[in-house]
Amino acid sequence: MANTGKDEKLKRATKIVCRQGMIPFPLSDTAIAIIDSVVGEHEEELDLIYAFREKSSQTTEQLMASSGFPEEKVTSLALRLAKKGLIFNQPNSSGLMVFRLLPFMVVGLMEYMFMGELKGTQKEKELAQLFEKMTGDLRNQTQQNYDALIPLFEKMPAVDRTVPARKTMDGKAINIIPVGKTMTVPDEFILPSQSVEEIIHKFDDIAVGYCFCRQRRSLLGDPCSINAPTLNCFTFGKSARFTVEQGFAKAITKEQALSIMKEAEDSGLVHKAFHPGSRENNPETSICNCCKDCCDTMNLWRNGTTPLVNSTFHLSVIDADACTGCGTCEERCPTDAIKINDDNVAEVDERSCFGCGVCSRFCPETAISLKEGFRKVFILPPRLRS
């Protein structure tokens, strides 16, 4: 490794990061520039990244063998990369330390770099611009290869799971329509918690950081149109310990978490939970509170980059007799799944509704209920080129 120049180290390390996660990125000058900005002059960090070329998760001993570094060097380099959002360094369930190389996004470098309190520096702005260019390059790749990518998109697991709002603006319970029959799920499947309160009460370790989407949009000169609060990006359990240790978030109590969640619901934000490996029967690792105009996953879908793939256990149902056609639900729906029809009544497109309950929460006539039933919402990105 000592005879390899920095440019080559940057290229090969970036190539390894590009392969990680649910959304692989092509190796590009932009991706290389991002890694260069994050790593800086610390070339040995590039060597440690390259050590993940064959296996993305490694123990200390495995990483010593793949990198050629002694244990002390492995530990110190991994800690530095963890603080930069490139390595997840937490022990597994048996207490064995495992180092996992993180992807560019969902969930990785892009999220963690903008999750702490920002200072508005030029470097932060330049990094935000680089990520914007990289996702733009990905959009161009999607549009150029649209038909070929459809079969791959259709195999994608749900990126996240929507956890619905449970109360209206005035504190009344949103009407839940139970399924008419028992849901058919595998015997080993554990139905995940269906309220943020249930999720919060499950964990002893809870941390909150700033919304990386709204913070990054603000750096790009595109602040949130509804001025949504930003300190409401939650991590739980092992992920909470990681974000606190690296300075991306701060530890909070269950009571503080419940108060922040209520503020998010009052602002019309959508609760989106993440699970390890996109397996809903695994305990949640985090919850984002998303607004319609800043959320990365919704914007990447709207601008033609990636599909919207979400799991949910609810569907909005309109009481046509109670609906006055005021349009509040249409305005607030994050996926544009509700429209006011020619009869001045709201209609729901079941294919696009991911059951967040925002429409129910803000409906002035309480004309919208949530019907139970597990669904996977899959919407292809719009085709922007003929």
Token pair listed for 261: 């969640």
322-340 pLDDT, tens per residue?
Answer: 999 999 999 999 999 999 9
Mean of per-residue pLDDT scores for the chain: 94
| Three-class SS state of 98 | strand
pLDDT (0 to 100) of residue 183: 45
pLDDT (0 to 100) of residue 156: 94
Rounded Cα distance between 355 and 336, Å, is: 12
pLDDT (0 to 100) of residue 357: 97
pLDDT (0 to 100) of residue 190: 59
Q: Are 361 and 368 in contact (CB under 8 A)?
A: no
The count of other CB atoms within 10 Å of the CB of residue 298 is 21
DSSP 8-state code for residue 1: -
- Does the pTM exceed 0.85? yes
Domains of the chain: 1-101 (1.10.10.10), 148-172+179-310 (no CATH)
Q: Are 121 and 129 in contact (CB under 8 A)?
A: no
Cα-Cα end-to-end distance for the chain: 47
Token pair listed for 30: 């932009």
pLDDT (0 to 100) of residue 2: 54
Rounded Cα distance between 226 and 1, Å, is: 50
Token pair listed for 383: 């085709």
Rounded Cα distance between 382 and 360, Å, is: 27
Token pair listed for 285: 């690792």
The count of other CB atoms within 10 Å of the CB of residue 195 is 15
Q: Are 17 and 31 in contact (CB under 8 A)?
A: yes
DSSP 8-state code for residue 280: T
Bridge partners of 213, per DSSP, are: none
Digit-by-digit pLDDT tens for the chain (386 residues) are 457 899 999 999 999 999 999 888 999 999 999 999 999 999 999 999 999 999 999 999 999 999 999 999 999 999 999 999 999 999 998 999 999 999 999 999 999 999 999 999 999 999 999 999 999 999 999 999 999 999 999 999 999 999 999 999 999 999 999 976 444 544 454 568 899 999 999 999 999 999 999 999 999 999 999 999 999 999 999 999 999 999 999 999 999 999 999 999 999 999 999 999 888 889 999 999 999 999 999 999 999 999 999 999 999 999 999 999 999 999 999 999 999 999 999 999 999 999 999 999 999 999 999 999 999 999 999 999 76
The count of other CB atoms within 10 Å of the CB of residue 281 is 12
113-125 pLDDT, tens per residue?
Answer: 999 999 999 999 9
* Pairing outcome for strands 308-318 and 160-163: parallel
Q: What are the C-alpha distances in Å from 107 to residues 40, 157, 235, 386?
A: 22, 14, 11, 32
Alpha-helix residue ranges (DSSP H) falling in 145-267: 146-154, 196-202, 212-219, 237-245, 254-266
pLDDT (0 to 100) of residue 305: 97
Residue located via tokens 């129910």: 360
Bridge partners of 207, per DSSP, are: 235, 251
